Amino acid sequence: MTEGKKFFSAANIAKLGVLLALVIALQAFGGGISIGVVQLNFTLVPIVLGAVLLGWREGALLGFACGVVVLVQVILGLAPLYTIIWTNSPVVTALTCLVKTTAAGAVAGLLFRLIEGKNRHAAVFAASAAVPVVNTGLFIVGCLCMQQSILAYQQSLPAEAGFSGMNVFVFILIGIVTFNFFMEFAINVILAPAIHTVVRAVERRAAR
């Protein structure tokens, strides 16, 4: 049986459908929970699971779906940063939204397959860590490609926030990325392997 035929089984299609629904629902309606300045974002977890359980193409598809929802939120201007970057740099903003999570899902799947034969647990953790790292790294690259927009956002913040006069790159790291990245990283390396273990246990039990 070819790899394509193996994928198009009822079980795999069901998994992809559930994960796709989770990605869209989490990103659109509840992927982020704010606690002070920290944003708890669970949207990347199903992308990791798709990449690990189904493959890099499915991980990329889930990441792309996430990117589409993010782009819609950006266009709707659901946050001050979104409004400014979309108004000033729509093309770069759109590419950043779509590429970062798509690439993150693909890299996670490829990394998992590369390490899986040596140690499956290590492969799951590596894939879980890769998604927030790639996602954040490409977001930073996107921000650097639209520095004027980021500078406009920086200047729109109140003086008491402490970002006035700060180097744009430093502002991206400290003012936009740092807290969210570490929280996304922690959430992914804890939840994704745990859920993966449960899913594998259920699959083994069902196969008996």
Each residue's pLDDT expressed in tens, for the chain with a length of 208 residues? 444 445 567 778 888 999 999 999 998 886 555 544 445 678 999 999 999 999 999 999 999 999 999 999 999 988 788 889 999 999 999 999 999 999 999 999 999 999 999 999 999 999 999 999 999 999 999 999 999 999 998 988 888 778 888 899 999 998 888 888 888 899 999 999 999 888 888 777 776 6
Domains of the chain: 3-207 (1.10.1760.20)
Angle between the 80-88 and 90-116 helix axes, to the nearest 10 degrees? 110
The burial of 37, by beta-carbon neighbours within 10 Å (0-12 exposed, 13-18 middle, 19 or more buried), is given as: exposed
Beta bridge partners of 40: 33
Determine contact, residues 142/100, Cβ cutoff 8 Å.
yes
DSSP one-letter string for 62-103: HHHHHHHHHHHHHHTT-SHHHHHHHHH-HHHHHHHHHHHHHH
Residue in the block written with tokens 């950006």: 74
